[in-house]
Structure 1
Amino acid sequence: MSGHGAPTVTADGHGLRVAVVAASWHAEVMDGLLDGALRALTEAGVEDPLVVRVPGTVELSVACARLAPTHDALVALGVVVRGGTPHFEYVCQGVTAGLTEVSVRTGVPVGFGVLTCDDDEQARARAGLPGSTEDKGHEAATAAVATADVLRRVAPSTTTRPEPEGARR
């Protein structure tokens, strides 16, 4: 059971600027992940999160890198389902490394809501859909906001985060 041992995390997102970057492949699963993330942000008091949709999971890293300078936290949502080629491993490794690099380089927490599953059934079970056993979109958003909240208290940023040009909320 992958949720075994998970901590209870509370997040105060009041005053934080948060963006959610979500892939488009596997629409049913992605809709569940996005709904869970937005619900978590509402529960944490985040107002007007920016939602950006990208074509696939590979594009999450570049979108997060572009948004990091103007946000206090990011949530990356995607799903990769194993197939019969090495594509799964390349995508999973690349996205994990890319999102980690964005977070470490910029100091902006990136909630990792990328499902890496053997089949569609596993993805649906983790997507926060009716009947799902887990809600990884909610977990990723909560983790990102909780981390941003901790960082603003222990290591406040010395930079201001301007509104990105052409951003729509």
Structure 2
Amino acid sequence: MSGSGAPTIETPRAEGARVAVVAAQWHPKVTDSLVAGAIRALEESGVTEYKVIRVPGSFELPVAALHAAKGGYDAVVALGVVIRGDTPHFEYVCQAATEGLMQVGVTTGVPIGFGLLTCDNDPQALDRAGLPDSREDKGYESAQAALSTLVAIKGL
């Protein structure tokens, strides 16, 4: 894991923002922790109106994010994990989910916090999940990114 070059992002104040947290159900130990990290960042920012939406897997994140963005949410935090296996399934799901989430953000103008972990193995996912012994908290960071982008856009 690199981590090299990561910016220091302060959690901005975003009172009054409506945020959807869309999370996959696969690998619940990881995804539940990602959701907890995202909620912690939202609450630290002053966001009180948020909704957690669970979908079956990471492939379903873009369509749920699209409906949230079109449904009036100011930002969306998309969380999931795909762990490499022995088939090309990993590449297809990762690419489709990544491109789909990017498309949602670009076409709707709603910031999308990208919290889709694409890992080679379980230990990598656990190390990014925001668990007590994890080195990173991608759920928290994804919410920070979505809120920071929202604040930047509102300042234009």
Which ranges of 4 or more aligned residues in structure 1 deviate by more than 3 Å?
Answer: none
Unaligned runs of 5+ residues in structure 1 are 155-169
Distance 1:116 1:40 in 2: 22
Deviations 1:62-82 (A, max 9, x none): 000011021110000000000
Aligned counterparts, 1:103-114, within 5 A: 103-114=105-116
Are residue 12 (structure 1) and residue 13 (structure 2) matched?
yes
Q: Which moved more, 1:67-76 or 1:6-15?
A: 6-15
Q: So what's the TM-score if we normalise by structure 1? A: 0.89
Structure with the bigger percentage of strand: 2
Deviation at 1:4, TM superposition (A): 1.8
Match of 2:138 in 1: 136
Deviations 1:47-103 (A, max 9, x none): 121110001000000000011021110000000000000000000000000000000
Distance 2:13 2:36 in 1: 19
Distance 2:3 2:150 in 1: 23
Q: So what's the TM-score if we normalise by structure 2? A: 0.96
Deviations 1:97-128 (A, max 9, x none): 00000000000000000000000010000000
Counterpart pick for 2:73 among 71, 74, 84: 71
Name the aligned partner's letter for residue 116 of structure 1. Answer: T
Tell me the SS of whatever aligns to 2:8. Answer: coil
Match of 2:128 in 1: 126
Higher Cα Rg, which structure: 1
Match of 1:45 in 2: 46
Tell me the SS of whatever aligns to 1:49. Answer: strand
Percent identity between the aligned chains?
A: 59
